Structure 1
Amino acid sequence: MANHQLLLRNLHTFNVAAQKMSFTLAAKKLHLTQGAISHRIKVLEAELGFNLFVRGTRKLELTEEGARFQRTLSKSLNNIFGEIEDINNVDLYGQINVGASPWFVQDWLLPRISDFKKRYPKFNLNIFSQEEQNFHQNHLDVALYYGDSKLTDMYRYRLFGDKYVPVCTPAYAKEHNILDDGLESLHRINFIHALGSDAWQRWMKHFDLEVPIFNQFYCVSHRYMGVQSALHNVGVAMGRYRFVKPYLDSGELISPYPSMDTQLGYEFVCPLGNEKRPKIRTFLKWVQEQVNEG
């Protein structure tokens, strides 16, 4: 038989023509010319070895073989389209495995996730809090991460940018006379570093400062722990503005030094092609709405 794609195309064309009992109406439904419909039917008849329609009458009629074939074909196509719809429905009522950094989960995702549950109650979310994307180990569907991911063959959607902000408590700033001495106070503060982050180094280079940031320091395994340490008067941490803003607004933290813009940002990431799946589109749309709302 002919190419399978052409055969399926012609079968669908015949099924529509048989339902409409009109090449003209079939052409309108399929956005084709009447001549194209007629040609496809002739090609299909040649492949099948029997006529599907009675020629030479004003009213389109099926042959006996055509009517028998149309009954079987219609049932098969209905089963196929029904199966596709069922798959999509399962997709929309399934579960989504989401990976994100601990900071993103704690300060951005969890405060908003109840809205997703209210709007899509039949979805189940598995949230993995981790610094790096590991799609295979945790069978992730999507990831929400900061930085320049080295993963290949991925769909990416930029959510928002950010800037680095040094933060400490008002009490710590007063104790070390930071506000009065400004940048000079950098020589006596306790620097809070996050494992794997060179934010303080880049900040120093950006402002052309030479301060020994590893003479007095504490190091924590996650950036989120750094901000929590600052909240407990341990020292000065380097925060990301979007996530420390609530603490700055409440007065729990202050920013005693200038902030630093960065080219990096937060991205929605998933394997290329998966962004078209209904459940991924649903989750991405919700994330986009949350970002737009601030």
Structure 2
Amino acid sequence: MEMPKHLPPLLALRAFEAVARHLSFIKAARELCVSQSAISHQVHKLEEHLGQPLFIRRTRAIDLTCTGDAYYRQIRPALEQIAQATQELLAVPEQRALRIGLLASFATLWLAPRLADFSRRYPHIQLELQPAIELADVAGAEVDLAIRYGKGHWPRVDSTLLLAEQLSPVCSPQLKATALAHAPRLMARSHQPFEWHDWSASHGLDLSQHPQVMLHDYNIVVEAAVAGQGIAMGRRQLIQRHLDQGSLVDAFDLPPLHSEIGYWLVTARAASNPSAQCFALWLQEQVEASMRNSDTSN
């Protein structure tokens, strides 16, 4: 594309605008950090280009000619627009946090202890964890990505299994030794109803003698089980620390259930957020490391 034929010298145009605004060669020179003679030279150059005077020069003052005044009013909005466009281009873009929807239990028991490594490796990416019992709307851009617990197959999103879960009922050692027979099953609003059904069905057990007690979320369920208040469905990926410490034990001495239940990375279809991609790769590395550590400990 060719340069417009009637575009005047831009340095001369800038000098003219400053002089016209201040009605002073001295003030214009100070603003543009050049000499007064340089300003006069540029204005004269523009007048020659246009073929007519733009200023009335008096002994102690100057004024715009009618032509100069009309020309100034027309070019000033264009120069302001150029300045604004340049300022926006040079401005440092505001960093937006990477929003991650997930259950509070996964955030607290598995993710949080590992986040220092992410911050060290990606200091330019700010994370905003949004724990909630309800599923975050990834497809509707409520969050950038989510970590969901279940069996996958959610509509309108892409799901990748991160971490398969192993389920087995757990309780405190004291409860198991003294009052297991009719201890309540501790459940949370975030609990998936298939957890107890799938586990009991796999072992042919009827757990109806254990009444249900509903709590707010899985973190509270775990703490209540540690305190001897009942039996929790142990998500072993989240409670491994309690199992290692002995504050929780298997309630029925039966093997855990291995199934398609697990933690899934959920993204919008055709998503291309670079920060989300960095987090997804890092998350996969953490999963692989935790699996290696688990194999080593076993």
Q: TM-score, structure 2 length as denominator?
A: 0.60
The within-5 A match list for 1:111-190 is 111-131=113-133, 132-135=135-138, 139-149=142-152, 151-176=154-179, 178=180, 185=181, 188-190=182-184
> How far apart in 2 are the matches of 1:226 and 1:293?
27
Q: Distance between the aligned counterparts of 2:114 and 2:216, measured in 1?
A: 25
Correspondence 1:204 to 2:232: no
C-alpha displacement of 1:116: 1.0
SS of 2:168's partner is strand
- Aligned ranges for residues 1-40 of structure 1 at < 5 Å? none
Q: 1:107 — aligned with what?
A: 109
Amino acid corresponding to residue 293 of structure 1 in structure 2:
A
Aligned to 2:187: 193
Amino acid at match of 1:226: V
Q: Is the contact made by 2:165 and 2:235 (CA closer than 8 Å) also made in structure 1?
A: yes
In 1, Cα distance between equivalents of 2:223 and 2:280: 29
5+ long unaligned stretches in structure 1: 1-85, 179-184
SS across alignment from 1:133? coil
Q: In the TM superposition, what whole-angstrom CA distance separates every residue of 1:186-207 from its partner, at most 9, and x where no partner exists?
A: xx22221223532223322222
- Alignment correspondent of 1:238: 233
Q: In structure 2, how many angstroms separate the alpha carbons of the residues matched to 1:260 and 1:219? A: 22
CA distance in 2, matches of 1:288, 1:90: 29
Name the SS for the 1:140 alignment partner. coil
* Structure 1 position 263 matched with structure 2 position 265: no
Matched, 1:219 2:217: no
Instruction: Count residues in correspondence.
Output: 195
Q: Secondary structure at the match of 2:166?
A: strand
Q: Secondary structure at the match of 2:205?
A: coil
Cα distance in 1 between the residues matched to 2:266 and 2:207: 37
Query: C-alpha separation between the residues in 1 aligned to 2:268 and 2:223?
Result: 33
Distance verdict in 2 for CA 1:173–1:290, change over 3 Å: same
| Counterpart mapping for 1:34-73 below 5 A | none
Aligned pairs (5 A) from 1:274-285? 274=271, 276-285=272-281
Give the Cα–Cα distance (whole angstroms) in 2 for the partners of residues 162 and 134 of structure 1: 23
Which amino acid is the alignment partner of residue 113 of structure 1?
Answer: L
Q: Give the 3-state SS of the residue equivalent to 2:250 in structure 1.
A: coil
CA RMSD of aligned residues (A): 2.4
Q: 1:100 Cα shift?
A: 0.6
The answer for unaligned runs of 5 or more in structure 2 is 1-88, 291-298
1:173/1:94 CA distance change after superposition, 3 Å: same
Aligned to 2:64: none
Question: Are 2:242 and 1:247 aligned?
Answer: yes
CA contact (8 A) 2:161 2:265 kept: yes
Q: Is the 8 A contact 1:100 1:129 kept in 2?
A: yes
1:138 is displaced (CA, Å) by: 7.2
CA contact 2:138–2:157 (8 Å) conserved in 1: no
Q: 1:173 deviation in Å?
A: 1.4
1:133 and 1:204 mapped to 2: Cα distance? Answer: 30
The one-character-per-residue Cα deviations of 1:6-63 (angstroms, maximum 9, x if unpaired) are xxxxxxxxxxxxxxxxxxxxxxxxxxxxxxxxxxxxxxxxxxxxxxxxxxxxxxxxxx
- Alpha-carbon contact 2:139-2:269 (below 8 Å) kept: no
Cα distance in 1 for residues equivalent to 2:187 and 2:246: 22
Q: Among all aligned residue pairs of Structure 1 and Structure 2, give the percentage whose two residues are the same amino acid.
A: 24
Give 3-state SS (helix, strand or coil) of 1:126's partner: strand
1:228 correspondence with 2:220: no
Counterpart amino acid of 1:97?
A: R
Q: Aligned partners of 2:115, 2:169: CA distance in 1, in Å?
A: 28
